[in-house]
Structure 1
């Protein structure tokens, strides 16, 4: 299946002229963006990776991402968006991901244009499609779509593959990203950063951001040891867990108690 998908990328890239362009992959270090980077590299495209991080990002995930790009021979840029995120998010209500994505999108645009890239690539799969989403409303093949107000096209080679197909492709390619064992937004692996666990009704503050990182970092070590998926909302300290037994929940409650006092 993997070779067929790589060949499909080659054919599509030839049809739309991507071999004459430099492509910058928005690379989080997760399975979808890792597979996207891998496919474009294997297809022989001129591709590089761009990773945004801030002071609350998981360092383990970033380390794995840097190792991965080195192994497959892809140039990798890292950009710290801490200051931009603080400007955009502080004093507003969550979810913070909305504010963070805005910062990343505009930084990606200007980074690409200032460094000779004419296409951005994302790891969206078919499960990420949302009715009304701008990238899903473009005419023609939605794998390549330009947003006029952004001014640079987006290439999404996985958009026609379901999450389970992406999992199978990544496994075939030997792509196994570092897991923090977060609870995530869905049953599929949907890890991101601990700031997503700030309660939605709360106004965002640096103190809440610090708290979300600290408690979830400790909880992630418990989740990894127990091989469950778990995270904690703040400041409500709601523990969320897939398949936790009573013993694991008791250990989680002890951790939460330390941070909530």
Structure 2
């Protein structure tokens, strides 16, 4: 299946003139973006990776991402967006992810423009909720779309493949990202960062962001040991878990109790 997809990307790239372009892949270190980077590299395109991180990012997944690009022999840029994230989120109500994506998107645009990249690439698949208002602006194949508000084309090599097909492709390519065993929003592995677990309607502060990181880091260690997926909302300390048994929940409550005592 990998060979077929790579050939399809080659043919599309020839028709679209992508072999004459420098492509910057927005690379989180998750399965989708890892697969997109892998496939474009296999197709012989001129690709580099761009990873954004901040003070509350998981260091384990960042380390894995750096090892992955080194193995591929792909140039990898790391950009700290902590200051921009704080400007966009502190003092506002959650959820934080909307503002974070805004910061990353505009940083990606200007990074690409200032460093001579012609195209941005993403790992969106057919299950992602993007075929709608955003891509209605596309007048050609939605795999390569120039968005007027951004001013630089986006290449989505996986957009016609379902999440299940992406899973199969990643497994065939032996792409197995480091997992924090987060609960995430869906059953598929859709991990992100601990700041997504700040309670809705809560005013975001650096102190609350620190708490979301510290609690969920400890919870993730428990989840990894128990091979379940679990996260905790803050400041409510609501536990979210797929397939937790009573013993695991008791262990999680003990971790939370320690944080409650510290927080007073």
Q: How does 1:63-74 map to 2 (within 5 A)?
A: 63-74=63-74
* 1:2 matched to 2:2: yes
Q: How does 1:24-173 map to 2 (within 5 A)?
A: 24-130=24-130, 132-135=132-135, 137-173=137-173
Deviation at 1:95? 1.0
| Residue pair 2:182, 2:229 contacting (<8 A) in 1 also | yes
Cα distance in 1, alignment partners of residues 200 and 9 from structure 2 = 39
SS in 2 for 1:128: coil
Cα distance in 2, alignment partners of residues 46 and 152 from structure 1 = 16
Deviation at 1:244? 0.4
| Residue pair 1:219, 1:230 contacting (<8 A) in 2 also | yes
> TM-score scaled to structure 2, two decimals?
0.97
Cα distance in 2, alignment partners of residues 168 and 132 from structure 1 = 26
* 1:175 matched to 2:183: no
Deviation at 1:136? 5.2
Deviation at 1:214? 0.1
Cα distance in 1, alignment partners of residues 3 and 136 from structure 2 = 26
Deviation at 1:133? 3.8
Runs of at least 4 residues of structure 1 off by over 2 A? 129-133
| Residue pair 2:232, 2:239 contacting (<8 A) in 1 also | yes
Give the match for residue 191 of structure 1.
Answer: 191
Deviation at 1:149? 1.3
Give the match for residue 20 of structure 1.
Answer: 20
Cα distance in 2, alignment partners of residues 14 and 182 from structure 1 = 39
Cα distance in 1, alignment partners of residues 104 and 130 from structure 2 = 20
Deviation at 1:130? 3.8
SS in 1 for 2:52: strand
* 1:225 matched to 2:225: yes
SS in 2 for 1:93: coil
> TM-score scaled to structure 1, two decimals?
0.98
| Greater shift in the superposed pair: 139-148 or 78-87 | 139-148
| Greater shift in the superposed pair: 130-139 or 102-111 | 130-139
SS in 1 for 2:127: helix
Deviation at 1:132? 2.9
- Structure 2 stretches lacking a partner, 5+ long: none
Deviation at 1:131? 5.2
Instruction: Compute the RMSD of aligned alpha carbons.
Output: 0.9
SS in 1 for 2:236: coil
Deviation at 1:140? 2.2
SS in 1 for 2:61: helix
Between Structure 1 and Structure 2, how many residues are aligned? 261
Q: How does 1:234-245 map to 2 (within 5 A)?
A: 234-245=234-245
Cα distance in 1, alignment partners of residues 130 and 148 from structure 2 = 19
Deviation at 1:94? 1.2
Cα distance in 1, alignment partners of residues 168 and 254 from structure 2 = 37
| Residue pair 1:119, 1:152 contacting (<8 A) in 2 also | yes
- Structure 1 stretches lacking a partner, 5+ long: none
Change (3 A) 1:78 1:104: same
